[in-house]
Structure 1
Amino acid sequence: MISTPHRQTAVVLINDAITAGARRSKACFELEISDRTLRRWTKDGQVQPDLRPLVPRPAPANKLSAAERAGVLEACNSPEFSSLPPCQIVPKLADQGRYLASESSFYRILRADGQQQHRGRAKPPVRRKPPTSYRASAPCEVWTWDITWMPGPVAGMFFYLYLIVDIFSRKIVGWEVHERESADLAAALIRQAVLAEGCFMQPLVLHADNGSPMKGATMKTTMEKLGITASYSRPRVSNDNPFSEALFRTCKYRPDWPTKGFATKADAQAWMKSFASWYNGEHLHSAIRFVTPNARHAGHDRATLANRASLYANARAQNPQRWSGRTRNWQPAGPVWLNPENEISAPEIRDAA
């Protein structure tokens, strides 16, 4: 209930807006009240107190009696129905030729008696908290990694591709092909990537899924020694590691991806070496203004994008009639977020690590 002083303030603001030329309905909308509410608040230009809570209200004519409410509770708590929700109880009572109340009344009575909770042995639904958000403003601040299958020479045989990507530049900073999944192998790859990028003991977030190689004791110990902050996807949520999943798709949809599988581990390694070289050094990535991951990682993308912007500006100056608006945006791509649901409250990487 809105107090009388607040009503007076709202009425004054609306009257001032109307005096300034605004429509009353628009002024009420800005204060999130209706025109009808404003008329109820005022009489002859004076703000009236809200007497609605003090007005006696008669009980509805169709209200269930105390005995009928007790009958509903007795039925819900009987051995036959104690583990069932009202949506199951009401039809079963109907099959027995009994009508006590509507399904909504069952829920309302149970709620009023403090019994509206999960019934039965199954676990109630769990509302999972949003994933942690991280912001990458430069290379080597947020990495993600995952493991995917590479088909082997026969059906049911696979090689395992370990892949680490920097989300700021989209550069593949580490990869390996192995014949098994292991936290020890993953830890070794992380060490190699950190040494290769020269970011030892720098604030770095490493995001992964919830697989056993990602959470193994060796992996956790390695990340602690390297000063890496561990981040994990929510259980049974496939969308929390999007950069690695997108990279796997790009990898497996290359024209030269062998659909019949790799004959040997050496073949898989050779193919992956060629792919990483192409992806980092030749592929123009759409998410970073169509520059290569290597160029953005090294900071060389700014010169390339500046040349493109100058070229487009000159083209527009020569033929202005061909341009109905601005030229294409060739500004460098900004910071990159991992799971930006909490983008407003997410800390900078340097603060979070």
Structure 2
Amino acid sequence: MSTTDAPADASGGSVAAVTAALVTALIGAGLSQRAALTTAGMARSTWHYRSHPRPAVAVPVAHTTRRAPSWLASCEQDTITAKLRDGFAVGWSVYCTFYEALDAGDPVASLSSWYRIARDRLAPERPVRRTRKHRATAIPQLLTDAPLQAWSWDITHLKGPYTKVTYQFYVVIDVFSRMITAWRIEDHEDDDLAREMFQDAFTAHGARPRIVHSDGGSAMTSNTLTGLFRDLGIEVSKNRPRVSNDNPFSESWFKTAKYAPTYPDYFTSIEQARGWADWFVDWYNHHHHHSALEGHTPADIHHDTWRAVHHQRVAAMNKLYTAHPERFTHPPVVKSPLASVGINHPITDERLQTG
């Protein structure tokens, strides 16, 4: 309850009046106004309005119906609306219409008022400025249920010993197994080098994928490489412009590599970069327990040797559960990898068969 709404005390005065009198007495005794108000427990705003009461209004006007002197009259708003509507009809903007009226000697109000009226009254009729439209590109979609069906590839920069010195890390990854099927490190991007890398990979694996996915880099879109794929009957899939998530497997692998504890701040030479990459790719393919593969290594999935590992894990977990069932809320379940992997394609929870 505020002091202004307090009930009258026994002497006939309100609590607010008594408090105000106390503040006056304290000020007269030498206290500052702030100290007196704090001692009496009265807000400064309350003291101000009691000391300087507003003049009484014979006929009060509700806030919703009050008007400021600067407001436009209804007829002035209607005039601006009519001028805007005429300007919109011939494709003029608010800005252009205002200056046409200004040059004619009848602006009525300021430019900001014209914009406000256009927003409030003519939003549906207001001409929409054309915006740049990027070329529509189909969403890349692919679905795999076995290795050597789809490969994804990209090139990333590795820091060299000096500013603006980088080495180009070409990496090809199998979409289903996540295994690195080809790689090379060079001091520049080159479509001939990329073509040679893929030719060597096809020979090494004794097979080629049905589709190769990449972004829109110059090496990826060159006739040298796409011509090779076309001659071999390999379908080419590309990212949409400015959509990095269309190439998730390559981007994810680059982060895995560059955030690894063994990744240096920079490479002192291209030979060092190649030595590190040779070690890391081998470790990743054969020893990295991939979270998207339920802890199996890419090589186990790629070469279809994961089932023996899976059965071993099931036996180990069952043995642990038998020995200490109190440590589990339910019998442990060892999942097998997903049966299908894709890019921009719905994936079910169907798993690879273990039998």
CA contact (8 A) 2:81 2:121 kept: no
- Superposed displacement of residue 98, structure 1: 5.6
Deviations 1:289-319 (A, max 9, x none): 1111111100011111122112212322333
**Partner letter of residue 291 of structure 1?**
H
Match for residue 317 of structure 1 among 322, 341, 346: 322
Match for residue 227 of structure 2 among 221, 225, 228: 221
Match for residue 232 of structure 1 among 231, 235, 238: 238
Match for residue 123 of structure 1 among 111, 120, 132: 132
- Superposed displacement of residue 244, structure 1: 0.6
- The separation in 1 between residues aligned to 2:335 and 2:314, in whole angstroms, is 6
CA contact (8 A) 2:140 2:246 kept: no
- Superposed displacement of residue 68, structure 1: 8.7
Match for residue 339 of structure 2 among 331, 334, 337: 334
Gaps of at least 5 residues in structure 1 are 1-65, 86-91, 111-115, 345-353
Spell out the pairing of 1:40-51 with structure 2 (5 A cutoff): none
Question: Structure 1 residues 93 and 295 mapped into 2: Cα distance closer, same or farther (>3 Å)?
Answer: farther
Q: What's 2:100 paired with?
A: none
Spell out the pairing of 1:64-83 with structure 2 (5 A cutoff): 71-77=83-89, 81=93
Match for residue 268 of structure 1 among 264, 273, 285: 273
Q: What's 1:26 paired with?
A: none
Match for residue 277 of structure 1 among 262, 272, 282: 282
- The separation in 1 between residues aligned to 2:189 and 2:340, in whole angstroms, is 32
- Superposed displacement of residue 76, structure 1: 2.6
Residue identity over aligned pairs, in percent, reads 30
In terms of mean alpha carbon deviation, does 130-139 or 272-281 score higher? 130-139
Q: What's 1:95 paired with?
A: 110
- Give the SS at the match of 1:135: strand
Q: What's 1:182 paired with?
A: 190
Deviations 1:80-124 (A, max 9, x none): 627889xxxxxx9962486594525423235xxxxx5434xx415
Deviations 1:204-241 (A, max 9, x none): 21111111110001011011122211011101111111
Q: Number of residues paired by the alignment?
A: 264
1:109 equivalent to 2:125? Answer yes
Larger Rg: 2
Question: Structure 1 residues 83 and 143 mapped into 2: Cα distance closer, same or farther (>3 Å)?
Answer: farther
- The separation in 1 between residues aligned to 2:120 and 2:331, in whole angstroms, is 58
Where relative contact order (Cα < 8 A, 6+ residues apart) is larger, the structure is 1
With the length of structure 1 as denominator, give the TM-score of the two structures: 0.66
Gaps of at least 5 residues in structure 2 are 1-77, 98-106, 349-355
Match for residue 146 of structure 2 among 138, 151, 175: 138
Question: Structure 1 residues 96 and 131 mapped into 2: Cα distance closer, same or farther (>3 Å)?
Answer: closer
- The separation in 2 between residues aligned to 1:117 and 1:312, in whole angstroms, is 64
- Give the SS at the match of 2:244: coil
- Give the SS at the match of 1:239: helix
Q: What's 2:103 paired with?
A: none
In terms of mean alpha carbon deviation, does 323-332 or 101-110 score higher? 101-110
